[in-house]
Structure 1
Amino acid sequence: MKNAFCTFIYGNYDRFIPYYLLGIELHYPNAAVIILLDKKLPDKYSDLVKSYPQLILIEDAIDNSTWLKKIKHRGAARQSLRHILQLEVFNQFDTIYFGDVDIIHLDEGFNLFDFHLNQAKTSGVPFSNKVRALPNHPNKSSGRLTGLHFVKVKEYYEKMNPIISAFKNDEAFQLKILKDTERNEHVLFNLCQAAFNFNADALLNNKRPWHGFHLGLVRGRDYLDIQTINENSSIDVESLRNQLKQINKNNTVNKLLLKYECAEVYYTYKYLDLKMPLRVTMKYEILEKRKHVIKFLKRVKNKNFAWLKK
């Protein structure tokens, strides 16, 4: 069976590419990787990407999506683009796991693709995902599927492609799919509901682990949110710590951090009390101070501009 990981990258999230690839290379060496970019790949990643023979890179993977201007989502509206892509490359694979680039995949003791194939079979649909419940109402659907979405390619796109085509070409249908949506997860739910007419309540108790560690968890924080890890990960904190330590045993992560800046990776190691070499620590402490200086200068500039307008 031919399996692939797929991630859609926009903005400055390309900084996670080296760490996303590292996790997959270590734990799923036989799987392909499809990277979809909203722009051209920055030159600094060219050699890295070329070193992965099973990597398929698609640049400028955004169609003429004027409909994006019609919606105001929490987070970037363009996140919904990944749910309506119709790419011939998908047909090369039996299964595709659509995930976030800021997740580093780790050893869970089971195979991600086998797990989702079994869950899809149990759910009676050609995809594996979880319907999010309403806050404080665990038995009520929020009308959202999560952004981590596994599909059985042939069965999924046989029914999804006509829905996507209708979304792109029929304005009334498009408005129906987008109506009352606040997140891209609502859009995915509505598309899948239109294609498969699934029972949302039946997917409330499905499992949707990160299959590793979500690096976004440390973004903007000065601590590690243990509760969120326990709620979303099949890996406990001690195992997470041990695995990240082992990955860096030969300075693999240290070398990447020096070459490809990613503060989220650095602070993940820091908050787990995993020692880093002095040159890595110095680099990221300097970057942090520089960030605070830039913020301060922006505040001063804005205050001065406001004063001049008076």
Structure 2
Amino acid sequence: MINKRLSQNFEVKENYYTNLKFNALAGKVMRFLLPSYEFKDFANVYIGDVDFLIINEHPSLLESHLDHCQQISLPYSNQIRPGSKRLTGLHFYQVDEYYEKMNSAIQHYVDDPEKITQAFQTLKRDEEFLYQMIEKNIGFRDMKKYHYRPHHGFHLGILRKGSAKFRDYVREGPKNPFHRLPEYPVLRKQLLQYYNDPLFQDIENTHRIQEVQLLRKLIV
């Protein structure tokens, strides 16, 4: 539907790495182990969670992360969670420069998936796994000095157990360095563009998602 009505560059790849068997926790790291050939036609990659509604921003998601890469002199843009050895799951990188340093590490785990299982005997989150790979192969330079890790939209996950967290999320979001939401009137206007879009309406009618329906009730 998206491919026909919006962009032929859109593609969904399912069942990736199905030949590798992991528990749910270790399986989450596979988003950080995608091979470079998957992005041979792209200059940049943004890895996020599936339950985000990305909104239009100025500067754009691309521009802002490229600026952050330049600030910290690194081929990726992320943030270390305070008091931890964890990055976040929202991970932007410049394809050529990033894979030049990360290809061998990625292939190391893909060729021997037992090493992923071994790693999670001590690790508890996929973000810790990403931290260790980045620390060993690229480093962090000035990342702690220049913090940047916005949501670029609305995280539907906060509605998974109902609307109780909605008010605090949109009220505190502009001040939260890990959310960096726009002020609510701006965010609401951007989110309403989804619900007023004919393509989004058809997608919503095709596959009903509880959190998407609840958000509609909260903002309309």
TM normalised by structure 1 equals: 0.61
Rounded Cα–Cα distance in structure 2 between residues aligned with 1:173 and 1:254: 44
Q: Tell me the equivalent position of 2:103.
A: 161
Q: 2:58 aligns with which of 105, 109, 122?
A: 109
Farther-moved stretch of structure 1 (163-172 vs 203-212)? 163-172
Amino acid at match of 1:181: L
| Structure 1 residue 84: Cα displacement | 1.2
5+ residue gaps in structure 2? none
Higher relative contact order at CA 8 Å, sep ≥6: structure 1 or structure 2? 2
Q: Is 1:211–1:234's contact at 8 Å kept on the other side of the alignment?
A: yes
Q: Please give the alpha-carbon distance, in whole angstroms, between the structure 2 residues aligned to 1:60 and 1:235.
A: 35
* 8 Å Cα contact 1:213/1:233 also seen in 2: no
Gaps of 5+ in 1: 1-46, 70-74, 135-141, 275-310
Q: Which has the higher strand share?
A: 1
Give a deviation string over 1:53-97, Cα, whole Å, max 9, x none. 11133232115334x35xxxxx74321111112141212111111
1:268 partner amino acid: L
Are 2:129 and 1:180 aligned? no
Secondary structure of the residue aligned to 1:203 is coil
Larger radius of gyration: 1
Q: Do the aligned partners of 2:52 and 2:155 also contact (CA within 8 Å) in 1?
A: yes
Q: 2:204 aligns with which of 254, 257, 260?
A: 257
State the percentage of identical aligned residues: 29
Query: In structure 2, what is the equivalent of residue 53 of structure 1?
Result: 8
Deviation at 1:198, TM superposition (A): 2.5
- Aligned pairs for 1:170-209 within 5 A: 177-178=119-120, 180-199=122-141, 202-203=143-144, 205-209=146-150
Match of 1:282 in 2: none
**Quick check: 1:108–1:234 contact (8 Å CA) kept in 2?**
no
Which shows bigger deviation, 239-248 or 172-181? 172-181
Aligned-partner Cα distance in 2 for 1:163–1:195: 8
Decide whether aligned partners of structure 1 residues 191 and 248 sit closer, same or farther in structure 2, where only a CA change above 3 A counts: same
1:212 has 2:169 as partner: no
Could you state the TM-score of these two structures normalised by the residue count of structure 2? 0.83
